Amino acid sequence: MQLNRGQRVALPDVVSSTNIEVGLDLQGIAVDVSCFGVDAAGRLADERYMTFFNQPQTPCGGVQLGSPAGFGAGFRLALDRLPPSIDRLVFVAAIDGAGTMRQLSAGRVCLIENGQIKATFTLHGSDFADERALMLAELYRKGGVWRLSATGQGFNGGLDALVLHFGGEVAEPTPAEPPPVPARLSLEKRVEQTAPRLVSLVKTARVSLEKQGLQGLRARVGLVLDASGSMRNQYKSGRVQELLDRVLPLALHFDDDGSLDVWAFDTTPKPLDPATLDNIGDYIDTVRGGWKKWFGGTNDEPRVMREVIDHYRRDPQAPPAYVLFVSDGGVHQNREITTLMREAAPYPIFWQFMGLGGRNYGILEKLDALSGRVVDNCGFFAIDDLRDLTEAQLYDRLLQEFPDWLRAARGKGIIR
């Protein structure tokens, strides 16, 4: 279906599901795209429903930043997850840097279902003048039905002006500080709203990042948890949940999507749901039925290592990955592990191995001296009890070797 500017259609006339994608392709200009979830008054009553580069998912998961195949930008939508207070989704683009919307050489907004384009709205630079932002399209509720509007409306000002238009707040720079990134929402404010018990951890992690010169670094973060039978007391005592609480703040600082990739492993790898501010509270006891459902076999490190490598090498344009791999020992597949670490060395993945309350860590303790790698891509330390280290000491240990790997990996062209 080809839509004209200003045309409105009922969503059920275009797609059969509320799980859809919006693909955005704007050529000739560099833009940042955002989605504003607003109430019936057209106001951004909850800043967490502004989805953009620094907040790529709504709390409910109803809107996620993500580019469909063949598009430069876009969003994944699960409309049934949105709370009733969200009356309208407004998709916008704001110019990043100099320029105006008249420089748009070609543009399109597409509604996509199961990989198939169901509706297209085409944009032309000749339709605009000196505007620096566009309201591209809207999805809105009417009579209990979602409807689509092909808006195509120019807007004076950039992203800051759009935030103010929808009732949000934009931080003002102080004379002694450089201007903040436009419309970037405070991480600590979001944590305070959603998981207040993590606020102090977020602050402590920030200090450690600043000490290592890592503030502002973009990276993906993964956590691999030993779920073999010998780990029972670590799970039962709450130590694994405490560790998860401490690792998530690193992901919040590092990771564009604000989530932590998690795997458990015993005899087999067990990919778990990403840990986020919304599910961190009782993650270990509830995700995939809780730890007792995915725990208890013997430990097979190479199988889960292979899965993690395949996961993070999938997108060569993505940021580097920091993987914290937790084991309580009993490591015996030394040859297989060394082979995998040599294979992984040219990839943008740093492995921080952590021994927790165990013994016989095997090759994990010797990886620093492993030959045959383009860069040293591993670190290791062990502690008997998570509470043996303060939060600040733990972050310092977790980040101790990561900066050295970043410098070496940049020098070899592994990361940019």
Interacting residues of 157 by C-beta distance below 8 A, sequence separation 6+: 132, 133
Per-residue pLDDT at 176: 47
Per-residue pLDDT at 168: 63
% of the chain at pLDDT higher than 90: 61
Per-residue pLDDT at 301: 96
pLDDT at 171 over 70: no
From the centroid of its chain, how far is CA 262? 12
> If DSSP codes are grouped into helix, strand and coil, which group holds residue 63?
strand
Per-residue pLDDT at 179: 44
Alpha helix (H) residue ranges in 228-300: 232-236, 239-254, 283-286
Per-residue pLDDT at 170: 58
pLDDT at 185 over 60: no
- CA pair distance 159, 182, nearest whole angstrom: 7
Per-residue pLDDT at 251: 92
- CA pair distance 119, 195, nearest whole angstrom: 39
At 65-110, the pLDDT tens digits run: 988 988 889 999 999 999 999 999 999 998 877 788 888 888 999 9
Smallest CA-to-CA distance from 279 within 306, 253, 244 is with: 244
Q: Average of pLDDT values for 179-185?
A: 42
- CA pair distance 396, 206, nearest whole angstrom: 11
Q: Average of pLDDT values for 109-117?
A: 95
- How do strand 63-65 and strand 73-78 relate by DSSP bridges? antiparallel
Joined tokens for residue 74: 């876009």
pLDDT at 184 over 60: no
At 284-334, the pLDDT tens digits run: 999 999 999 999 999 999 999 999 999 998 877 789 999 999 999 999 899
pLDDT at 346 over 80: yes
pLDDT at 60 over 50: yes
pLDDT at 181 over 80: no
- CA pair distance 228, 241, nearest whole angstrom: 16
Residue 237 pLDDT grade (very low, low, confident, very high; cuts 50, 70, 90): very high
Dihedral angle, C-alpha 227, 363, 275, 296, nearest 10 °: 0
* Higher pLDDT, residue 43 or 361: 361
- CA pair distance 264, 332, nearest whole angstrom: 18
Per-residue pLDDT at 98: 75
Joined tokens for residue 299: 């430990």
Q: Average of pLDDT values for 363-372?
A: 90
pLDDT at 265 over 60: yes
β-sheet bridge partners, residue 359: 329
Per-residue pLDDT at 364: 93
Give all strands of the β-sheet with 8-10 in edge-to-edge order.
Answer: 8-10, 145-155, 133-142, 88-95, 31-38, 50-51
Interacting residues of 271 by C-beta distance below 8 A, sequence separation 6+: 262, 263, 307
Q: Report the range of poorest mean pLDDT among 114-128, 168-182, 394-408.
A: 168-182
- CA pair distance 264, 223, nearest whole angstrom: 8
Smallest CA-to-CA distance from 51 within 14, 97, 82, 26 is with: 82
Per-residue pLDDT at 177: 45
CA distances from 111 to 11, 86, 91, 119, 204 (A): 10, 20, 12, 5, 43
Question: Mean pLDDT score of the chain, rounded to an integer?
Answer: 88
Cα angle 262, 264, 265; round to 5: 145
pLDDT at 180 over 60: no
Q: Average of pLDDT values for 39-66?
A: 88
Rg (the chain; Cα; Å): 23
- CA pair distance 54, 66, nearest whole angstrom: 13
